[in-house]
Structure 1
Amino acid sequence: MAVPKKKTSKSKRDKRRATWRNKAAIQARKALSLGKSVLTGRSTSFVYPQPDDEESAE
């Protein structure tokens, strides 16, 4: 028969959740920063297609 595992303490659970939330917050901050830099045109770390002005003028 299966034996139940020991109960995880609330502090361990909270520490794990806090780590997970902090990782998500860091990624959200990086994504916002990258989005702002793309909008201002200063981005050097992100490659995205530029519209060709010459082709659209014809």
Structure 2
Amino acid sequence: MSVPKKRTSISKKHIRRNFWKKKGYWAAVKALSLAKSISTGYSKSFFCPKTKTLFEK
């Protein structure tokens, strides 16, 4: 027969949730940094071809 598991403490639950939130935070920071570097044209690690506008020939 299986035995019920012990309850996880609240502090351990908070620690795990904070790790999970922090991963999302750093992913957002990196994405914003990459977007800024692409928009300014100073990106060295991401290739983005320049598109022509309607007024350029």
Task: Give me the TM-score of the superposition, normalised by structure 2.
Answer: 0.80
Aligned length: 54
Q: Deviations over 1:11-45 (max 9, x none)?
A: 00000000110111011001000001000000011
Gaps of 5+ in 2: none
Q: Give the aligned partner of residue 43 of structure 1.
A: 43
- SS of the residue aligned with 1:22? helix
TM-score by length of 1: 0.79
1:52 CA displacement = 6.5
Runs of 4+ with >3 A deviation: none
Structure 1, unaligned stretches of length 5 or more?
Answer: none
Q: Paired residue for 1:3?
A: 3
Report the structure, 1 or 2, having the larger helix content: 1
Cα root mean square deviation, aligned: 1.8
Tell me how far apart the structure 2 counterparts of residues 14 and 32 of structure 1 sit (CA, whole Å). 27
Q: Percent identity?
A: 49
